[in-house]
Structure 1
């Protein structure tokens, strides 16, 4: 049996899932490297996580928040920025 398709409609679903990303959402440099403010990667350029699960180089998010007018927001989802605390062990 042969089937002849007269027309078809393509559908797709797209979502931005960057919670597992290995790059800073602001400067787009890998976390293993360093932000544009630093000369060398390491402890001087730590990664900060927000309660919204987005991560940024410390210097990048601090600069972003300094420029913010009003309530500080996450650059990726515009939720109120709150730095996540480390889980207690």
Structure 2
């Protein structure tokens, strides 16, 4: 018996490389979800890590750092925010 594939649809999944129980410290949404400003998780709603090892949705962190009360500090430990390389 010989089969011919007529149509092929790939299905893929992805996950951020963070523990399952971790949520964004700002919006409290799991990292495999997306921030309130995004509709679809993934490359359009990336995560960003600080040198302090805390991670956030990039958009949440940008909004946080733009506020006067942030004083350009990590929202979790209040150390000066420096993005990890």
Task: Return the TM-score normalized by structure 2.
Answer: 0.71
Aligned to 2:60: 60
CA RMSD of aligned residues (A): 1.9
Q: Runs of at least 4 residues of structure 1 off by over 4 A?
A: none
Aligned to 1:13: none
Task: Return the TM-score normalized by structure 1.
Answer: 0.68
Following TM superposition, by how much is the alpha carbon of 1:68 offset from its aligned partner in structure 2, in angstroms? 3.2
The higher radius of gyration belongs to: 1
Gaps of 5+ in 1: 1-18
1:46-75 CA distance string (max 9 Å, x none) = 000000010000000000001135840000
Q: Secondary structure at the match of 2:56?
A: strand
Gaps of 5+ in 2: 1-17
